[in-house]
Amino acid sequence: MLSDQQTQNGFERKSFPDFYEDWLAEQDRHLQQLLKAANEPPSPSNEDCLRPLVDRVLLHYDHYYHHKSFHSRRNVYQMFSPSWTSSAEDSLLWVGGWRPSMAFLLLYSRSGSQLDARLDDLLRGVRTRDLGDLSPEQLARLDALKVRTVAREREICERVATAQETAVAPSVAELVHELTEGEVEEGVGDARMEEAMRAKREGLEAALAEADGLRMDALRGIVGELGPLQAVHFFIAAAEMHLRVHEWGKRKDGRGD
C-alpha cells in the first residue's frame, strides 16, 4: 500500500493516459509470466511458488486504482468519459470502469471451458488444480460473494443517479440561461458554474471511489477463494479480455469503423 506522500510524488509527474499505457504494457508482461506459470506441471510444490506472482498481479491492480484516485480528485469527469480507451471499451464502462460482477462471469466462463477440456481427468480422480477443479465449497462461497457484489453495485448506481440529477438543478439551469443571454461575464460565469456543479462533482467522486473499491474487493475476494494455480488462470482470463478488447477497439477506431 502506498502512502499519500508516495502517491502524490509518484503520480503527479505523469498524466493518466501516459500512466495507463505504461500500466497496460506491464499487464502484458504479467500475462506472459502467468501463461508460463500455467504451463508448468501442476503440483503442490509448484503452486507454492505461484503465490508471489499472484500477489504481484493483485498489487498491479491496486497501483492502478491508487493512481486513478489521485487523478480523479483533479478531474473526475474525465474518468467517466476517458480519452485513453477505445469506443469498444467505453461501451463496457460502468461508473468509470469495469462492472465488478463481470469478474464472476469471466471466472465461471473460464471454469466451464476448463472443466470441459479436462473432464476425463477429473472423472478419473486426477486433480487439475485449475478453474475446472473448483470445489462445491469454493463455488458456494464465490456465489455468496457475487450476490453481495451485485447488491453493492445497485447501491452505487443509485448514488450515481442522484449525482447526475444535480446537473439539472434550478441553479445550473438558471446560470446556463444567463450565460447564453450574455447576462453574466465569462469569468464570473465560470466561477459560478464551478460552484453550481460542486455537488455533482463531489457525488461522482464519491461514487467512483466506492465503485473502484468494489472492483478491488471483488478481485481480492475471488483470489482469496482460489488456489494459487486457479488464481493464475483467473488473472490470465482477466488480462486477455482487457488487452484484447483494448487492442481490437483501438484498431477499429483507427479504421473509422
Average pLDDT over the chain reads 86
Alpha-carbon distances, residue 209 vs 44, 118, 131, 148, 159 (angstroms): 38, 40, 30, 18, 12
pLDDT, position 6: 45
Alpha-carbon distances, residue 240 vs 57, 101, 125, 135, 225 (angstroms): 13, 17, 30, 25, 21
Domain-wise residue ranges, the chain: 15-255
pLDDT tens, 143-165? 999 999 999 999 999 988 888 77
pLDDT, position 5: 45
C-alpha cell of 92?
Answer: 463496457
pLDDT, position 189: 63
Distance CA 120, CA 126 (A): 9
The mean per-residue pLDDT over the stretch 226-239 comes to: 96
Quick check: 53 pLDDT over 90? yes
In terms of Cβ atoms closer than 10 Å to its own Cβ (0-12, 13-18, 19+), residue 111 is buried
pLDDT tens, 173-230? 676 767 677 776 767 667 777 776 787 888 899 999 999 999 999 999 999 999 999 9
Residue with C-alpha cell 500477489? 55
The mean per-residue pLDDT over the stretch 89-115 comes to: 95
